[in-house]
Amino acid sequence: MTNSMNDIRNSKCVMVIGENVCTSHPIAMQHILTAKEVNHAPFIVVDPRQSQTAALADYHVRLRSGTDIPLIYGMIHVILRNNWESKKMLEERTYAFKDLLAELSKYGLPDAKTTKTDIKEDLKTVSDISGVAVEDIIKLATTMAKNRPSTIIWAMGGTQHSHGTGVVRSYCLLQLVLGNMGVPGGGTNVFRGHDNVQGATDLGVTSDSLPGYYGVGESAFKHWSGVWDVDLEWIKGRFTSIKKMAKVKKTVDGKEVEVEEEVITKLMEKPGLTVARWYEAVLMDAKDLGQPTNVHAAIYWGHSSNCESQMDRVKQALDKVDLLVDIDPFITTTTVLPDRTDNVYLLPAATAYEQSGTVTNSNRGIQWRNRIVKPVFESRTDLDILVDFATRMGFGKDYAKNKFGPWKNFPEDVTKEINTGALSIGYRGQTVARLKRQMEYAHTFDIKTCRSTEGPTKGEQWGLPWPCWSNKHPGTAILYRIDVPVMQGGGGFRARWGDKAPDGEPLLTPKGSAPRGSPAGFAQGYDAVKAYAVDLTGKAIDDALAKGINPYGNGRARFNAFGIPDPVPTHREPIHSPRPELITK
């Protein structure tokens, strides 16, 4: 989420796609309605069905589910035909715009600058795929372009598709074309479902990354071993590796040949199965999974199996595992679904009101949550359960410490650990003292800017949204904003892909397109920015800030995200589509 829910009050046009805000985020809906009523911002809802949110919209456009990319591409074509694009954004702050144009041509959208055809003819293909009338595509694009800054809001209606990554990236590309990135009232705003979904993501509660999005490579484990004050070799010893014969490509006498040789796979560095597919690790042959044995235990924690698909296979796995544990304040589907009574354990966890700590909301803002009552009956806090598990498995002392020593006041120590290690995204400045102080002075924060106007918190953003680079940094309310200095929340796009793209094009911005006060255009090269995320002393970050430089550099946003499937977003018709003739295309 680039901006914030409150910042929607600054929008001149709001487009919601893939989200029923009234039902899912009723508080956020107030900000949308404020933009509509105070700014007279047109309110657009793109949704296959009539919802409560759609009932309040100025324009409700129905699309065929999952066809967001063709619809967005049609809107981009209209914008280009009318010369409404942000030329400065495209020329100075993005890479491979030409590749997007090439993708547009696959949908019957000709070069907008040279075509002589009627625009309604151009849009027939995307209209046919999406089910949205040509006139409505033109109206959507025109409304977004003529009422800037405009914002796009989505939730799981955008993400939960077989090609969901491409879907949400297409929204971002539209905002780049319109120049709505890095400006108040603009941005791409994805609403998370609960108060700490973003925080859970940030802390690596996924199968493919350690905290702070460091991944699971050896360098990531080395960094976090330093934060945890444990020996990296000890960490390695807790994982196994597997050896198998595999075909690999090698260069012999100048020619590339395929040979068979023994390959060692370090499971420490291999991403695990996602929560949506964990049951395959129980039911499939272990060899097909690339691991020495199947999974024999399942632990659900604050999450139930009723949100997983292929329930028949989920049930088979729940029946088959040797041990099933459900940690939750409530009885869930997981505990009643399997036909078994042995080795099923229900551990009552405390609710949010019974424990303290930090939570991170959709717009990257962090709050300290105070405990209201002590855990009731047999329930225990999540952290208490975790430490008990670690102790019983023999590494409790290693678990309950970090580079500052043993934990003394549990939640506070965990936050300090996050501040120390999650440097990559700037979790450094959200100290316990600052977060608690913000709670005390909450009345000083302006509802529209989310900035404190007086007292000891003056100048700070509510929640110190990441990146918050130091104790003196106010937090970043709007990502990628270059019209303010770094120490006021300014920053460009991340320079994390190298100085140049595979085609030789520069990935760093030219002079004049950097946060205000930065000494040079791109501030620093890629080699310089790689060090800040693993420097536990914080010196690399402090040195950059002293020069007015954003620690992660100043790169270009990529229309071509080389390195992933579908580098340019592509519509993928699902195999169970009611339009089988589109599947082969």
Give the Cα separation of 328 and 154 in Å (integer): 29
Q: At what angle do helices 134-146 and 68-81 cross, to 10 degrees?
A: 60
**Beta-carbon contacts of residue 138 (< 8 Å; ≥ 6 apart):** 78, 119, 120, 123
Q: What's the chain's length in residues?
A: 585
The SS3 call for residue 350 is coil
Residue 327 and residue 290 in contact, taking contact as beta carbons nearer than 8 Å: no
Distance of CA 344 to CAs 286, 323, 383, Å? Answer: 24, 6, 22
Residue 33 and residue 477 in contact, taking contact as beta carbons nearer than 8 Å: no
CB-neighbour burial class of residue 542 (10 A; exposed 0-12, middle 13-18, buried 19+):
middle
Residue indicated by tokens 């580079």? 403
Tell me, rounded to whole angstroms, the distance of Cα 450 from its chain centroid.
22
Give the Cα separation of 501 and 17 in Å (integer): 32
Give the Cα separation of 574 and 585 in Å (integer): 11
- What pLDDT, on the 0 to 100 scale, is given for residue 245? 77
The SS3 call for residue 513 is coil
* DSSP state at residue 340: -
Sign (positive/negative) of CA torsion 396, 400, 402, 407?
negative
Give the Cα separation of 427 and 423 in Å (integer): 6
- What pLDDT, on the 0 to 100 scale, is given for residue 249? 81
Provide the whole-model pTM: 0.92
- What pLDDT, on the 0 to 100 scale, is given for residue 530? 66
The Cβ of residue 523 has, within 10 Å, a number of other Cβ atoms equal to 27
Alpha carbons within 13 A on the beta-carbon side of 364: 21
Give the Cα separation of 549 and 561 in Å (integer): 25
| Angle at CA of residue 546, ends 544 and 547, nearest 5° | 70
Structure token digits, residue 111: 């070069």
Structure token digits, residue 390: 């670690």
DSSP string, 393-406: TT-HHHHTEETTEE
Each residue's pLDDT tens digit in the chain (585 positions)? Answer: 999 999 999 999 999 999 999 999 999 999 999 999 999 999 999 999 999 999 999 999 999 999 999 999 999 999 999 999 999 999 999 999 999 999 999 999 998 888 888 999 999 999 999 999 999 999 999 999 999 999 999 999 999 898 999 999 999 999 999 999 999 999 999 998 888 999 999 999 888 999 999 999 999 999 999 999 999 999 999 898 888 777 888 888 788 888 888 777 789 999 988 888 899 999 999 888 888 899 999 999 988 898 888 899 999 999 999 999 999 999 999 989 999 889 999 999 999 999 999 999 999 999 999 999 999 999 999 999 999 999 999 999 999 999 999 999 899 999 999 999 999 999 999 999 999 999 999 999 999 999 999 999 999 999 999 999 999 999 999 999 999 999 999 999 998 888 889 999 999 888 778 899 887 544 455 555 568 999 999 999 999 999 888 998 889 999 999 999 999 999 999 888 999 999 988
- What pLDDT, on the 0 to 100 scale, is given for residue 195? 84
